[in-house]
């Protein structure tokens, strides 16, 4: 993401332009926005690292159906409501607005936001911990991400039918 490519409308337009330049069989079906910081979760969880690995390595084949836009933010401790603290300055000041728009919260790992490519509306939002995207679970599942897979299935169905998926229950980090 950049200063001129971060709002849902801008990403939807970029997505449309990019997909129209591809053969139909290579086009993505949805948009994922990933926001994280260098210190987005405890080192024991490694939630940002696992989120990046899960999406880059396509821990679920459904990840290949999405165009992924990412943003690295400065740590945003005590930023309530999201985006209210002027942490980013100068040419990066737009990142404060992006943190607010996508409701980034410091702590539970990367924030994942799913956009409808047809109109740029936010379909759903979650975070790495809610999706069990932390190291222990990633290893236990041998590099697969069942909760992410289930959510991506729901998002793809929602894109096709314009209905809202039911939110996934939030797991605990114990166990």
pLDDT in tens, 65-101: 999 999 999 999 999 999 999 999 999 999 999 999 9
Q: What confidence category does residue 175 fall into, taking pLDDT thresholds of 50, 70 and 90?
A: very low
The model's pLDDT over 109-149, given as tens digits with 9 standing for 90+, comes to 899 999 999 999 999 999 999 999 988 888 899 888 999 99
pLDDT band at 49; cut points 50, 70, 90:
confident
pLDDT in tens, 9-45: 999 999 999 999 999 999 999 999 999 988 765 566 7
- Phi, psi dihedrals of residue 58, rounded to the nearest 5°: 50, 60
Domains of the chain by start residue, with CATH: 8-161 (3.40.30)
d(CA 158, CA 133) in angstroms, rounded, equals: 22
Is 9 in contact with 120 (CB distance < 8 Å)? yes
Q: Taking the model in full, what pTM does it have?
A: 0.88
| Rounded Cα–Cα distance for residues 138 and 48 (Å) | 12
Whether the CB-CB separation of 79 and 42 falls below 8 Å is answered with no
CA dist list (Å): 91 to 21, 72, 95, 140: 30, 14, 9, 42
pLDDT computed for residue 123 by the predictor: 96
SS3 call for 97? helix
pLDDT digits (tens, 9 = 90+) for 22-32: 999 999 999 99
């Amino acid at each position: 993401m950049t200063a001129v490519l971060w709002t849902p409308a801008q990403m939807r337009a970029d997505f449309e332009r990019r997909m129209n330049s591809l053969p139909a069989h290579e086009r993505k079906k949805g948009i994922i926005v990933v926001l994280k910081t260098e210190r987005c979760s405890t080192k024991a969880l490694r939630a940002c690292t696992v989120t990046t690995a899960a999406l880059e390595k396509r821990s679920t084949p459904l990840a290949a159906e999405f165009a992924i836009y990412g943003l690295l933010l400065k740590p945003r401790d005590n930023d309530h409501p999201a985006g209210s603290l002027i942490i980013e300055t100068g040419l990066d000041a737009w990142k404060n607005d992006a943190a607010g728009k996508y409701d980034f919260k410091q702590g539970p790992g990367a924030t994942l936001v799913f956009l409808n490519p047809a109109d740029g509306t936010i379909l759903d939002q979650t975070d790495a911990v809610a999706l069990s995207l932390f190291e222990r679970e990633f290893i236990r599942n041998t590099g697969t991400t069942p909760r992410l897979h289930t959510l991506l299935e729901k998002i793809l169905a929602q894109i096709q039918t314009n209905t809202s998926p039911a939110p996934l229950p939030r797991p605990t980090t114990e166990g």
